[in-house]
Amino acid sequence: MIRKETAMFTTALKNSKVLLTGANGFLGSHIGRALVQEGVPVLCLKRKASDLGRCRDFSRDVEWVDADAPDWSEQVIAAKPKAIIHSAWSGVTASERTNWKLQAANFSLFTNLLQIADRVNLQRFIALGSQAEYGPIHGRVDENFPCQPDTAYGATKLACLALLAGLARQKRLAYAWLRLFSIYGPDEGAHWFIPSLIRQMKLGQSPQLSGCEQRYDYLHVQDLAAAVLTVLRHPETSGVFNLSSNTSFSLKKVVQLIREQTGGIAEPMFGALPNRPGQSMHMEGDSSKFYQTFAFAPGITLEQGIRDYVLDVAGENRH
């Protein structure tokens, strides 16, 4: 279940539509579910070919707009959303992040959203950025760390931020740009690190790994959803915020937690693979600014998150 916070949405927000992009994706589906559980009217974009499997439990509780329709933006404008939450993004895998043409294609949807924001009485624009905007990270970084992206993904995210900030200044629009670090949890892509390890260990396989000395910052996706809802409760607060668990763990610890929770017998093969060239050995977000501004703290520890995730992968804890 989505973690509940004591603060409640105002009546005005509960009576106002929120436009959510990427509702069928890993991050967006959890945000959409959290909005529905809070009783917020949600308008979601989808394409004819969209797989709605991740939002099967709340798909009938939201209003869908076909993004393939030539007049989709006019339909959204007619609905008069008071807030936009932009979580959609094409090209998030490691290989796709260096594809400039693919990443630049994200501008089309983003500029359409800015046009919508310009034409309706929007109160809030929340967008999901990325630690990739900073470029190579080798330690703990806050929002003052210089942005020097070295991938098409990071550069495109940063360019979208500049566009949003410009519109916000022109229209006096409140916005929050949330720079995410490592997010994990139910319905994550099966090829990502944690779910692939869970499946291998449940099958009694010995995963081939690097030395796993890297330290990464893992935030549970349900805490991300709770954080986004918290931002909505502060409609006048603007800025760029790191959003992470505010601490880091070695990958070896993550592997060991997964082995414990799966009852894995086979030994992980640490050191069987080399580290990727240029791989960061310490990537940690300092999210103090976000936590202090919004009086927020994650509710799910890494140990709890891994335990629940193992149950989810086993099919014992589905939505």
Residue 111 token pair:
């500029």
* pLDDT averaged per 10 residues in sequence order, the chain, 319 residues: 42 79 98 96 95 96 97 97 97 94 97 97 96 97 98 98 97 97 94 94 94 96 98 94 97 96 92 90 97 97 95 63
Angle between helices 193-202 and 251-262 in degrees, nearest 10: 40
Quote the CA–CA distance of 49 and 172 in Å, as a whole number: 36
Residue 99 token pair:
């594809």
Which residues face 125 on adjacent strands? 84, 175
User: How high is the pLDDT of residue 276?
Assistant: 87
Angle ∠(29,33,34) on CA atoms, nearest 5 = 120
User: How high is the pLDDT of residue 8?
Assistant: 46
- 134-149 pLDDT, tens per residue? 999 999 999 999 999 9
For the chain, counts of helices (H) and of strands (E): 11, 13
User: How high is the pLDDT of residue 1?
Assistant: 37
Taking alpha carbons only, the member of 63, 22, 67 closest to residue 43 is 63
CATH class of 13-186+220-244+286-298: alpha beta
Quote the CA–CA distance of 303 and 300 in Å, as a whole number: 8
Residue 309 token pair:
């995730």
User: How high is the pLDDT of residue 5?
Assistant: 39
User: How high is the pLDDT of residue 314?
Assistant: 63
Within 13 Å and on the Cβ side, how many CA atoms surround 102? 15
- 241-286 pLDDT, tens per residue? 999 999 999 999 999 999 999 998 889 999 999 998 888 999 999 9
User: How high is the pLDDT of residue 4?
Assistant: 44
Phi and psi at residue 101, to the nearest 5°: -65, -45
Phi and psi at residue 4, to the nearest 5°: -90, 145
Residue 62 token pair:
């939201």
* pTM for the model: 0.93
**Residue 8 CB: number of other CB atoms within 10 A?**
12
Instruction: Give yes or no for a contact between 240 and 158, defined as CB atoms under 8 angstroms apart.
Output: no
**Residue 28 CB: number of other CB atoms within 10 A?**
25
Torsion sign (Cα): 257, 228, 126, 177:
negative
Amino acid sitting at position 250:
S
User: How high is the pLDDT of residue 10?
Assistant: 52
- 71-89 pLDDT, tens per residue? 999 999 999 999 999 999 9
Instruction: Give yes or no for a contact between 225 and 30, defined as CB atoms under 8 angstroms apart.
Output: yes
> What does DSSP say about strands 42-46 and 18-21: parallel, antiparallel, or unpaired?
parallel
Token pair 């070295």 is at which residue? 150
